[in-house]
Chains A and B, each alone.
Chain A
Amino acid sequence: MNIQNIISEIEKTDPEIYDRLDTRRTAMKSFAKVSGKIALAALPFALGSMFKKAYGSPTSPTDIVIDTLNFALTLEYLESNFYIQAVNSGMIPAGGALNALTVIRDHENEHVNFLKTAITAAGATPVSFTAANFDFTAGGTFPTVFSDYGTLLAVAQTFEDTGVRAYKGQAGNLMSNNDYLTAALQIHSVEARHAAHIREMRKAANLLVPAGVDVKPWITLNESGIGTPAVQASYDGEESVMQAGIAITQIGGTQITAAAASEAFDEPLTKEQITAIVTPFFA
């Protein structure tokens, strides 16, 4: 991920980014200083906290709304570009599988266009990404993403389940605008429908890893059914059986198991957590 490019991109939307970051020079200097001391894997967190510092106390509610919509748009560009390449990969089985990924691709494109329109209508500038901005091998973690069907669906599942967690985590930032909040919720549940279907596809095609693991349309504990720790951050926390301080396991004298309790509630992730997860997919 090219930090400079991201900041440049944000600068188009928010010309005052460098003011928010103090000054361009001190911002980059302090970032370089910090990044020199931390592991590469922690870079997104450093970036996230730098942005948090910049945007942490928005001068008006609109700032946070636009920022949130642009964050959503960034994720939709990621998904949209992924499915465009997936559908064009020539390796998706014709019929139900190809039809499903085409439906999902179209939805993600629609989300991109919808959010672009919404941000523009609000008088702000939408972020913009092209295929060249993405690396769906995630820096070599998924080298066969568009040549191995199992890997492709594993990445798709991770994107969808992560997308659900991202929208869930951002809903509160849109509360000042009912229209944007409702639209974000309407996208959120579509991403969950996608996630459920991709999970069904992986199970039906016997693509679950490791052997013996099950994956249902809903998320059981923090299991992904994907045999690489690279995706685990997208599932950690989903095993929660406490909601608002109330234990769901055997609640009210029922037989609700920990597995069912975890499945019954999907969990949000913060912007920083989401940024850390998707950063490897940006070129």
Chain B
Amino acid sequence: MLHNEIKEDQPNGSQEILTRPVSRRNFFGMAGLGAAVIVTAASCKKDDIINNSGVNLGSGDAGILNYAYALEQLEAAFYTQIIATPYANISALEMAYLKDIRDHEVAHREFFKAALASNAIQSLEVDFSSIDFTNRTSVLATAKAFEDLGVSAYNGAGKLISNPDYLTLAGKIVSVEARHAAWIRDIISMGSFADMSAVDGNGLDKARMPDDVLTIAGTYIKTKLNASNLPTN
């Protein structure tokens, strides 16, 4: 079950995520998988459950891909903002690598958009009002949270995917997110790339289910998401 802590009206800090035209190639051939966009006009009261209103991620593999698309939209918007308004005293290496990461996340976002074609959810609005983009500590703490969250999201979603080709695609992306996570962690505290806050006593990274991920990510996503039709096992 998801919370609805997303603020409706943020005078500052929220923005449209960049969107660009993409080819409409329907590679995944998901017609009929139920990923139709449903935007409800209903107001969201404090006790509403986000599962039952908002942008419908859909069901089956298309739903999982839309879930990944939503997370990649969030990450791409975040790094785009960092590069647009770099924090104070950013080093040349940090700038270069953060640009790389932005490009990777934009590539992921655009890949999912193109692959989902007509099944893709809309572009989401983000809410970065809790992040101080002028402050290195604030920016990198958020980056670390996003990357670790992304890794755990893909790790948890693997078992929800039916088509082995999509599983491989998710695998191609998650290890890049883990590389990001390791580097971000290291520039915050050298040597923390896989410390005990990320990796457990069995040497395993985290795996989170979509509801848990979206609850955490919800702080930064203004658009309400409906994850109620996603597969659960």
Report which A residues bind B (CB closer than 8 A).
Answer: 96, 99-100, 103-104, 106-111, 113-114, 164, 167-169, 171-172, 175, 178, 181-183, 185-197, 200, 216-218, 243-246, 248, 251-257, 260-261, 263-268
In the assembled complex, which residues on chain B have CB atoms less than 8 Å from the CB atom of A267? 172
A108 touches B203 (CB 8 A): yes
Given contacts A192-B182, A196-B193, A252-B113, contact A168 B171 (CB under 8 A): yes
Q: Select B114's contact among A108, A175, A195, A252, beta carbons within 8 Å.
A: A252
Q: Please indicate which of the listed interface residues A183, A243, A264, A265 has the most CB atoms of chain B within 10 Å of its own CB.
A: A264
Report if B7 contacts A (CB, 8 A). Answer: no
A265 touches B27 (CB 8 A): no
Closest 8 CB pairs of A and B: A110-B203, A192-B178, A196-B182, A186-B204, A192-B175, A172-B164, A260-B103, A252-B110
Within 8 A of A (CB), among B167-223: 167-169, 171-183, 186, 190-191, 193-195, 198-199, 201-207
B183 touches A217 (CB 8 A): yes
A110 touches B202 (CB 8 A): yes
Report if B224 contacts A (CB, 8 A). Answer: no
Given contacts A216-B97, A251-B22, A251-B110, contact A171 B167 (CB under 8 A): yes
A282 CB to closest chain B CB (Å) equals 22
B159 touches A178 (CB 8 A): yes
B103 touches A264 (CB 8 A): yes
In the assembled complex, which residues on chain A have CB atoms less than 8 Å from the CB atom of B111? 243-244, 246, 248, 251
B78 CB to closest chain A CB (Å) equals 16
Within the assembled complex, what's the spacing in Å between the Cα atoms of A169 and B111? 20
A264 touches B176 (CB 8 A): yes
A185 touches B178 (CB 8 A): no
In the assembled complex, which residues on chain B have CB atoms less than 8 Å from the CB atom of A96? 190-191
Within 8 A of A (CB), among B10-54: 20-23, 25, 27-28
Q: Select A218's contact among B114, B179, B190, B198, beta carbons within 8 Å.
A: B179
A211 CB to closest chain B CB (Å) equals 19
In the assembled complex, which residues on chain A have CB atoms less than 8 Å from the CB atom of B174? 185, 188-189, 192
In the assembled complex, which residues on chain A have CB atoms less than 8 Å from the CB atom of B205? 185-187, 189-190, 193
Q: Please indicate which of the listed interface residues A182, A190, A263, A265 has the most CB atoms of chain B within 10 Å of its own CB.
A: A190
Q: Select A195's contact among B21, B25, B115, B179, beta carbons within 8 Å.
A: B179
In the assembled complex, which residues on chain A have CB atoms less than 8 Å from the CB atom of B203? 106-111, 114, 187, 190
Binds A, one of B56-64, B135-143, B150-158: B150-158
Within the assembled complex, what's the spacing in Å between the Cα atoms of A255 and B172? 21
Q: Please indicate which of the listed interface residues A168, A246, A252 has the most CB atoms of chain B within 10 Å of its own CB.
A: A252
A263 touches B104 (CB 8 A): yes
A244 touches B173 (CB 8 A): no
Q: 17 A–B contact pairs at CB < 8 A?
A: A99-B191, A107-B203, A114-B204, A178-B233, A187-B204, A190-B205, A191-B175, A197-B194, A217-B97, A243-B169, A244-B27, A251-B111, A253-B22, A263-B100, A264-B108, A266-B171, A268-B168
Within the assembled complex, what's the spacing in Å between the Cα atoms of A187 and B174? 12
A260 touches B104 (CB 8 A): yes
* B109-151 interface bits toward A, Cβ cutoff 8 Å, 1 = contact, 0 = none: 0110111000000000000000000000000000000000001
Within the assembled complex, what's the spacing in Å between the Cα atoms of A197 and B184? 11
B201 touches A110 (CB 8 A): yes
Within the assembled complex, what's the spacing in Å between the Cα atoms of A228 and B6? 52
Q: Select B171's contact among A104, A171, A246, beta carbons within 8 Å.
A: A171
In the assembled complex, which residues on chain B have CB atoms less than 8 Å from the CB atom of A99? 191
Within the assembled complex, what's the spacing in Å between the Cα atoms of A194 and B194? 7
Report if B107 contacts A (CB, 8 A). Answer: yes
